[in-house]
Amino acid sequence: METLPEIQNIPLQGSALKPDPFPHFSVTEAFSADKAEQLLAWFEKTKLWSFTKTNFYTQYEFSLVGLELPEPLGFLNSKDTLQFLAERFNNLFGCRLKVIDITAHKLIDGHKMGVHNDFIGKDETHRLVIQINDNWKDEKGGYLMLFNSKQPSDVAKIIRPLHNTGIGFEISDRSFHAVSAVHDFTRYTLVYTFNSLYI
């Protein structure tokens, strides 16, 4: 693919696939620094957030699919960006994928996500979660945790929600993960969901 200016905003630095506890990779720099700051500023002021509560999580969210974004952030849901992300996932996971959803999530004080695997069959096969958080400290919580099984005590990996970092992973019946309770903090994430072209 020809390198386009907006693609340079998504370096996805630090991505190397790891097999356990399920196939995933970590991202140490998801966006360019200025775009990450612009995204955080937009998350903080937008009124698009909608409250959602289920039996295992509570959060605010909204979809970016088809959404007209502020000019500096238009790359987030552009055709070129979605193709770039699909190709990066193709290379890492060895399968042909396409982005089918883009969602922003916001957790505030007391919000958390219980252990779950995101598995709904073949409709969603992979996910990229980008963390956009300002001045996070350990005591603020909101850790992303990966598990060896559905047991809450069976923690395999704990990921700190540092600003402009992320994780990509394969969704399956064993991709158990959770988010610990947030304390006096607002935890933002941008989530790209993928689907296999051959299902």
- For 38-86, what is each residue's pLDDT tens digit? 999 999 999 999 999 988 899 999 999 999 999 999 999 999 999 999 9
User: What distance in Å separates the CA atoms of residue 167 and residue 30, rounded to the nearest whole number?
Assistant: 9
Q: 136 Cβ partners below 8 Å, 6+ apart?
A: 142, 160, 161, 162, 163, 185, 187
- For 151-197, what is each residue's pLDDT tens digit? 999 999 999 999 999 999 999 999 999 999 999 999 999 999 999 87
Backbone angles phi, psi at 132, to 5 degrees: -125, 95
User: What distance in Å separates the CA atoms of residue 105 and residue 50, rounded to the nearest whole number?
Assistant: 9
List the domains of the chain with CATH numbers: 16-45+71-196 (2.60.120.620)
- Position 2 scores a pLDDT of 46
For the whole model, what pTM was predicted? 0.94
- Position 13 scores a pLDDT of 82
Q: How far is CA 190 from the centre of its chain?
A: 5
